[in-house]
Chains A and B, each alone.
Chain A
Amino acid sequence: AQKVTQAQTEISVVEKEDVTLDCVYETRDTTYYLFWYKQPPSGELVFLIRRNSFDEQNEISGRYSWNFQKSTSSFNFTITASQVVDSAVYFCALRPEGDKIIFGKGTRLHILP
């Protein structure tokens, strides 16, 4: 079965704290793609990152970093020195090659000033 689990439904942190959003996926496919999307209050999902199953390199983009570990089927997302503008719902997604994309239920992140 293909599945994405975001166990944290809602997280609140104070501004400038670091926060990690967890994502665990299940798939039997050897070729697949993982994504993170951000949905701010306006509602429009914004692409953050894509990783394919053969690229386990971690990635850093400014205050954002991603840790992909095939051994634990996890693709976690860390925001360093969080800011109020980071408040949003964050979705992790899995796309097995040739198949439909599957989203996790999302994690609602509140950054408190």
Chain B
Amino acid sequence: KAGVTQTPRYLIKTRGQQVTLSCSPISGHRSVSWYQQTPGQGLQFLFEYFSETQRNKGNFPGRFSGRQFSNSRSEMNVSTLELGDSALYLCASSSLTLNTGELFFGEGSRLTVL
């Protein structure tokens, strides 16, 4: 079956702009989570959704937001972009809540902020 699909794969924005990233989970998976990966901070948890409800949130400013739709697809939005937001944004899906389920990751969306 198809894996986790993230779009777009690459994008370039300028400071102050906003961006929306999309994630389509594996069919049947109801849990979606987002992560930011940077060379300095490593892999950091952003948020987790299960059946359209946010279950957990990482330590990121309110400029970072997300949502999940009834078909389990998810989007994350970053407003008022800063240079430090340049990163690889990874989405993962799971058939269970993340407490016990293994995560299936997408290839990521690489965001560059100029």
Chain A interface residues toward B at CB < 8 A:
33, 35, 37, 42-47, 50, 52, 91, 95, 97-106
Contacts and interface: CB of A to CB of B under 8 A. Distances in A.
A44 B102 CA distance: 14
Contacts of A101: 33, 45, 98, 103
- Leading 7 A-B pairs by shortest Cβ distance: A103-B43, A45-B105, A47-B102, A105-B42, A100-B56, A100-B45, A44-B107
Interface residues of B, number: 23
B70 interface: no
A104 B42 contact: yes
A104 B42 CA distance: 7
B106 interface: yes
B92 A103 contact: no
B99 A97 contact: yes
Interface of B: 33, 35, 42-45, 48, 56-58, 88, 90, 92, 98-100, 102-108
A43 B42 contact: no
28 contacts: A33-B100, A42-B107, A43-B88, A43-B107, A44-B106, A44-B107, A44-B108, A45-B90, A45-B92, A45-B105, A46-B105, A47-B102, A47-B103, A50-B100, A50-B102, A52-B100, A91-B43, A95-B99, A97-B99, A98-B99, A100-B48, A100-B58, A101-B33, A103-B35, A103-B43, A103-B44, A103-B45, A105-B42
A96 to B, nearest CB: 9
Contacts of B88: 43
A105 B90 CA distance: 15
Given A45-B105, A103-B45, 10 more contacts: A35-B103, A43-B88, A44-B107, A50-B100, A52-B100, A95-B98, A101-B45, A102-B45, A103-B35, A106-B43
